[in-house]
Amino acid sequence: MPIKYSVSDDGHFINAVASGLVTAQEFIEYELAHAVDKRIRTPLYELLVIEPGAFRQIATEDISRVIEQRMDLPEPPVTHHCAIVVAESDYHAWDLAKFYEGMFRLHYPEVVIVFADPVTARIWLGMEKD
C-alpha cells in the first residue's frame, strides 16, 4: 500500500506517508484501516504527508466514498485532529486536501487542517516544540 502508517505515543499518534502513485482503492483502504485499528486511542492526532504527485489519481468522488464507507462501520471511528501536509506545488493534492477538510467538517466532529510543511503541522498537533 503506497500509504504507510504507524501508530505511536501509546495509540495517540498516527504518522502516515503517501508516496508513489496512490489509487482510489488504496486511499479508501488506508482511511478504513486506521478507522478500525484497535491500537488507536483518544485523543488521537494524525499526520498525513502527501508526497508530490501521490494523489494525482484521486478525485473528490473518492473522498466522498470514504465518508460513506466510514458511516457504514459498526463502530464510529475515533474522533481526532488531522494535519495534512501537501507540497505547495501540488495543486491537485491541495484541492483534494481542502475538499477533505470541508467534508470532514460537515460530517464528523474532527478537525482537519492542511499545511505546506511537516514541521508546522507537527507543532499544531503538539508533537514538536516550536
Report domain extents, the chain.
20-46+60-77
Dist. CA 103–CA 116, nearest whole Å: 20
Which three cell numbers mark 74?
Answer: 459498526
Dist. CA 40–CA 44, nearest whole Å: 7
Dist. CA 27–CA 21, nearest whole Å: 10
Predicted local distance difference test score (pLDDT) of residue 109? 62
Predicted local distance difference test score (pLDDT) of residue 78? 82
Tens digit of each residue's pLDDT, the chain (130 residues):
699 999 999 999 999 999 999 999 999 999 999 989 999 999 999 999 999 999 999 999 998 898 889 889 998 888 889 999 999 999 999 999 998 888 777 767 678 899 999 999 999 999 876 5
Dist. CA 113–CA 69, nearest whole Å: 22
Predicted local distance difference test score (pLDDT) of residue 130? 55
State the DSSP string of 4-40.
Answer: EEEEEGGGTEEEEEE-S---HHHHHHHHHHHHS-TT-
Dist. CA 26–CA 32, nearest whole Å: 10
Dist. CA 66–CA 7, nearest whole Å: 21
Integer-rounded Cα Rg, in Å, for the chain is: 14
Predicted local distance difference test score (pLDDT) of residue 71? 86
Check: CB of residue 45 under 8 Å from CB of residue 8.
no
